[in-house]
Amino acid sequence: MIKVGIVGGTGYTGVELLRLLAQHPQARVEVITSRSEDGVKVADLYPNLRGHYDGLAFSVPDVNRLGACDVVFFATPHGVAHALAGELLATGTRIIDLSADFRLRDAEEWSRWYGQPHGAPQLLEQAVYGLPEVNREAIRSAQLIAVPGCYPTATQLGLIPLLEAGLADPAQLIADCKSGVSGAGRGASVGSLLCEASESMKAYAVAGHRHLPEIRQGLNLAAGQPVGLTFVPHLTPMIRGIHATLYANVKDRSVDLQALFEQRYAAEPFVDVMPAGSHPETRSVKGANTCRIAVHRPQGGDLVVVLSVIDNLVKGASGQAVQNMNIAMGLEETLGLSHPALMP
């Protein structure tokens, strides 16, 4: 049985981790931390988990207790994992970080986008970017895994087949993405209030979103050269979900794009390439660790449109984190993650 610790278990990604791990046959949560909820039972804060974690309570982070775990998840805001990661790695435990702390390879670029110095630049070299569809082999032996963000997951999975095949013009890529309100986190803010977010949709961070350098980093690797990417995120009045509408110029019209995508993801348990002409919906992945993709060439022109949908809290965060744990611990990759999406 894998002994699991969770740092920062009171946010949406933390409770999603608890929900997923409650049905994992080879994992048991031993420690969950929260300074603000120290001593509070998990089942009291999250009644949906009654009967699963009745003996587990939040506690203040303690390196000795966390270091006794086989795997420690960080479900924290950026900057928190910097402070504890080095000490925990020294104990031999694996770290799976859901924050942005170790996603970018360049510490200076991280500092520019996150507005503070990187707290553990010496660990970046050993951090593995946890997108299994790209880095599965590196994840197997990784001690420090950086779980991709939600927008980056949906966008990269949608564009990688075109870039790897050298088909898309790397200088002109557009990611037009929509997110549910849970992507903003559980903390109280005016923009997340029902009266503010309901029955409305808006773009934000058009000048530059923190996920832009992460997406660009992954697409650069897929293309083998720098890409030109315009990324525009939107807030939509739903709780969960990412819908990425992706645009790329593909002048070679002789290529069977449907076959290209199907072949690229044929062995991937959590990527579903839908039949030609499909329009995947966010509700079709709600609660599931699945990315559904459809590829279109409207009017047979040069502009290819890829539709990519995920649940931002599952494949975009906690589900992908558990998927990484399964790979790193030598388990069946789908263990605890094979449940279908919720409908309606």
Active site residues per annotation? 150
**CA–CA dist 341, 22 (Å, integer):** 17
242-249 and 173-179 as β-strands: parallel, antiparallel, unpaired? antiparallel
Single-letter amino acid code for the residue at 107: A
**CA–CA dist 343, 275 (Å, integer):** 20
- Distant-in-sequence, close-in-space partners of 133: CB < 8 Å, separation ≥ 6: 157, 160, 265, 268, 271
Cβ pair 257, 295 in contact under 8 A: yes
**CA–CA dist 250, 254 (Å, integer):** 10
Cβ pair 45, 12 in contact under 8 A: no
Residue 256: closest CA among 301, 297, 305, 284: 297
**CA–CA dist 284, 286 (Å, integer):** 6
Residue 239: closest CA among 311, 132, 291: 311
Helix (DSSP H) and strand (DSSP E) numbers for the chain: 11, 14
CB atoms within 10 A of CB 205: 14
Residue 144: closest CA among 132, 127, 130, 120: 127
